[in-house]
Amino acid sequence: MLGQKSHFRFTQNAFVDSGLTVLMLHAGVHEPDELTEAHITSFINWAVPIYLTSSMAGFLTFVIFPNASFANPAQINKEEYRPKREKILRDVFNLWRWTPDDPFPETEERASPIEQCVFSGDQAVVRISQTLMPMIGGRDAINFFPQGRPKLPVSGWCLLALLAMPMATLNSSGKAFLPFSYDAAVRRDLLQKNWERNRHDFLNQTLDKRPNYSFPKTQLIGDLLDIINHDTVRTPITAYHFVSGGQTPNIDLYPLSMNVLRFIKKVKNSRQTETAWNNIVSSAWERNTEEGSQRRNFVYEDMFTLPQRARRFLRRYLLRYRSKGKASKTDPRFQYSFIREREVISWELIRLFLEDIMRIDRERVDAIKALADRLVGYLKENPHFYRQLYMARGESNLRRLLLNAAHHAKEKNRPSLLPYDDVIKIFFVEEDGVLQSDWYLAIDLLLIAMIEQMSSDWVQEYGGDIEEAIEKTPIKEDE
């Protein structure tokens, strides 16, 4: 009824719920059932002129709603077609309040009275194809439709949400980029960022195409760091990067698991790691880009490779191992150095990463740190040991070096440098009830924990030799 609260509700579908969030942002409400007819009318009146512009219509027909009647590529730049296109668009927007006594849009197929909406379970009003729903089949295709016939039955209000959804997306290299969380509060905060960007962009009346956000993953992590706090983010986040039209429709999914989000949240809210993390981020921005152009942040982009490529991330950003191969002027990672960038290294940050992302238990982390503390004393008497330890990448060589150091300490009647129990904790992991050696990760961590404690004078005297060893020793990214 007019003026009454609607029955809008979240459905757990990314496209529908994102569109509902757009409607709520426009209305300034925080729950879907607070949306009224006045709110929806206001949104439609605001959105229709934008959707009819050549910039938005082109984006919609080529990326989100392929061949939608209101965004016909042959008509979007011809003023004489505007009244027809506007009528088609308003008709589908207003199906959310359609009743059986109302005329039905000529461009659409009415659902039968017994059909239920595939998203909400409510009575369906219209059957839609890819022209109104991204990433499904066309008007006549049967493949992938559960009823063995083309198109999906959808309620009017779910169609309204689908039509609102594009205002939550960014245009990224010819695709739409949409971050999604099942946590309604986080979803609202994230989509508000895109909503505000799009509103700002469309205030520019001379806009002939939607701005291209070249590195949306960088944008998303930046947004996430803006909104995240101790209480937010209780479900994973997935970014959808998709194109529904053209010859090759496709979608890429970029997930951020709870382990990753938990790590981000701890880093953001920890004073112990704040400086180190800020240094890591600031040193990961792409260099020498054109003035005014967007830049990627390599550490932000690689957050989406976690936890699968956790060792690579750890070595590259937290342990400051430089990238191998042909150097790039725009990629700062070829200049990383754990010798020259000791201020960037934080054992507390490394510990958080090991525990939250790599799921390494604290007992092993503490044992590695304790061994590093003991080796620092040995290193002061045998300064070339560090270079030897770095260059000895074979497991047998590493074992021999450490045993020699332990024997040396024993000869001088010092406490045991390498107790047997610590050897098991540090250099072995249990997988399916079987101990497996894990020397390379342990050595990497030992090297960093040791160098973190050495004086600037020691580094100045011996750092050159270590840098030379780094240049001479080829190490695989994921070793």
Exposure letters 243-264 (e unless 16+ CB within 10 A, then b): bbbeeebeeeebebeebbbebb
**Preceding omega of 307 cis (within 30 degrees of 0):** yes
Mean pLDDT of 16-43: 97
Indicate the DSSP class of residue 210: P
Q: Say yes or no to pLDDT of 3 above 50.
A: no
Indicate the DSSP class of residue 152: E
Q: State whether residue 108 is helix, strand or coil.
A: coil
Q: Say yes or no to pLDDT of 119 above 90.
A: yes
Closest alpha carbon to 443 in 394, 380, 379, 409: 394
Identify the pLDDT of residue 6: 47
Mean pLDDT of 42-71: 94
Confidence class for position 205, pLDDT limits 50, 70, 90: low
Q: Say yes or no to pLDDT of 2 above 70.
A: no
- Compute the distance between CA of residue 416 and CA of residue 37 in angstroms, rounded to an integer: 77
pLDDT digits (tens, 9 = 90+) for 268-317: 888 888 889 999 999 999 987 676 678 899 999 999 999 999 999 999 99
> Can you give the three-state secondary structure of 400-443, one letter per residue?
HHHHHHHHHHHHCCCCCCCCHHHHHHHHEEEECCEEEECHHHHH
- Compute the distance between CA of residue 473 and CA of residue 284 in angstroms, rounded to an integer: 24
Burial (0-12, 13-18, 19+ Cβ within 10 Å), 48: middle
Q: State whether residue 202 is helix, strand or coil.
A: helix
Closest alpha carbon to 187 in 238, 229, 225, 221: 238
Mean pLDDT of the chain: 88
Q: Residue 173: how many CB atoms within 10 A of its CB?
A: 12
Q: Say yes or no to pLDDT of 434 above 90.
A: no
Within 8 A by CB and 6+ apart from 289, the residues are: 295, 330
pLDDT digits (tens, 9 = 90+) for 331-352: 999 999 888 888 889 999 999 9
Tokens encoding 272: 């112990």
- Distances, alpha carbon 16 to alpha carbons 77, 90, 96, 168, 187, in Å: 29, 19, 13, 11, 12
CB 269 within 8 A of CB 229: yes
Q: Residue 107: how many CB atoms within 10 A of its CB?
A: 14
Single-letter code of the amino acid located at 168: A
Q: Angle, to 10 degrees, between the axis of helix 395-411 and the axis of helix 439-453?
A: 50
Closest alpha carbon to 389 in 462, 313, 316: 462
pLDDT digits (tens, 9 = 90+) for 237-252: 999 999 998 778 899 9
Confidence class for position 474, pLDDT limits 50, 70, 90: low
Highest mean pLDDT among 13-17, 171-175, 233-237: 13-17
Maximum CA pair distance of the chain? 98
Confidence class for position 121, pLDDT limits 50, 70, 90: very high
Is-above-0.75 flag for pTM? Answer: yes
Closest alpha carbon to 216 in 264, 261, 180: 180
Closest alpha carbon to 159 in 29, 59, 65: 65
- What residues does each domain of the chain span? 14-183, 257-347, 360-472
- Compute the distance between CA of residue 304 and CA of residue 140 in angstroms, rounded to an integer: 37
Closest alpha carbon to 479 in 324, 327, 351, 306: 324
